Structure 1
Amino acid sequence: MLQTQRPQSGSLPSPILFFSSLILLLVFPLFPLAAVCLDGSPPAYHWDKGYGTGINSWLIQLEGGGWCNNVSSCLVRKNTHLGSSKRMVKQIPFSGILNNKHFYNWNRIKVRYCDGSSFTGDVAAVNPVSYDFSSWQWQDNPGSDIPPPYRGLKMVTNLHFRGARVWLAVVEDLLSKGMRNAENAILSGCSAGGLASILHCDSFRALLPMGTKVKCISDAGYFINTRDVSGGHYIQTFFDQLVATHVLILSLSPHRYNI
């Protein structure tokens, strides 16, 4: 792990001096958890280790990046950094809340997003063994710079819908690295990561010691189920497909989340 520039004792660093360019850390959970990204690669996070008075304080940021709501869109996604740790940049600068001077000596973690379900999918089987692209719809993947396959092509998809297992594997890994002694812990996220911070706030609280002060922050992570500008119910249809594809019913409480 690269060492970051540290301020002198008793001083707060400026946003310019306070930076991190941290090496990607891969998580290899033991079987049977089998927590992997969409393509089967291990999940990953970046960690700037805390020190001094912040040694037992933890700030976790869940990366955002939308969702994939069906097999075709997940196939596109698995060939990007949002579906595979093999395609992630190995070193990144910390920004936003991770570059806030008030957390300068906390343990700061950016959890990379590679499952397409806001860390909630839980399907043991690899989906499916083959896929017929004769029904591929380019509009399933608006804005993608990856062209669709030829119609009629059949291939092995090798898709893993295991976001909930990724979440648990990362948290368990952090607990083993000192978070079990946390005095303060913040779970934050933006967009799809912000939704994940809502959905996993209770489990995050439950995995930490009772004496730990825990807060959850959702930045642009609340998506209202209402009609769109054309009068349709796009977001309802989209999330219905998301739930069906990643089998979220297994990892989310139907009473709490109104599924």
Structure 2
Amino acid sequence: MTGLTGKTALVTGASRGIGRAIAERLGAEGALVAVHYGSNDSAARDVVATIRSNGGQAFPVRAELGVDGDVDTLFAGLETGLDGRPLDILVNNAAIQDYDATIEAATEKQYEHVFAVNVRAPLFITQRALTLMPNGGRIINVSSGVTWFAIPEVVYSMSKGALNVLTRSLAHTQGARGITVNTVSPGVTETDMNAWLSDGEAAQAIAGLAALGRVGKPADIGDVVVFFASDDARWVTGQVLEVNGGLFLGPRVER
């Protein structure tokens, strides 16, 4: 498929998990993909190689998020790779989770780190990206189902809630330029962040809470992100789409 041929895209946190699936699908659709990553050079090179081996175009961009100068570092690499081209698609995917940051145990340091990566970075990456983005561009934020179902890790949930608010505000302010802004909100998905799903019993329990009867895969999320990036989603903006296989719709009914 070549629905995004001629377009350019930046995917943050694209060296693994959901970000990798998004980058690979964008590449398969014809976009030139900037594969952002924080530190794992070999993983990023593998994503770029995979996209290229499937006939796509990609280049790596290394920048640790949540530190001083992160946006400057990221955009120096991005603009080199774009070589004068605009940025058509931005996917704010990179995020971290701190399982110790509960209401009882969270520290200021944990809070500041999670928010620096999950909220501050997307805000200022978007601010800079808008200077490179033509009218009619696409911004997709990757949030989480924890914004509507409760987990103990309150700091992470709060950070993802902020992304949902960012989406609505940006959709409102950027509409005059024809830029659409939407959020994809995954349910429980098999990623490194959810390594606890390697426990078969845990995965089975989560599958039993979803109407479609399984745990999410990164590709399930990547496909929806590409829809938002495409012209098919031209009349959709300011929305949060839950991509979770019908999680918590109610007790499973066996017939």
TM-score tier (shorter): 0.3 to 0.5
Which protein, 1 or 2, shows the higher relative CO under an 8 Å CA cutoff with sep ≥ 6? 1
Higher radius of gyration, 1 or 2: 1
Q: TM-score, normalising length from structure 1? A: 0.33
Q: TM-score, normalising length from structure 2? A: 0.34
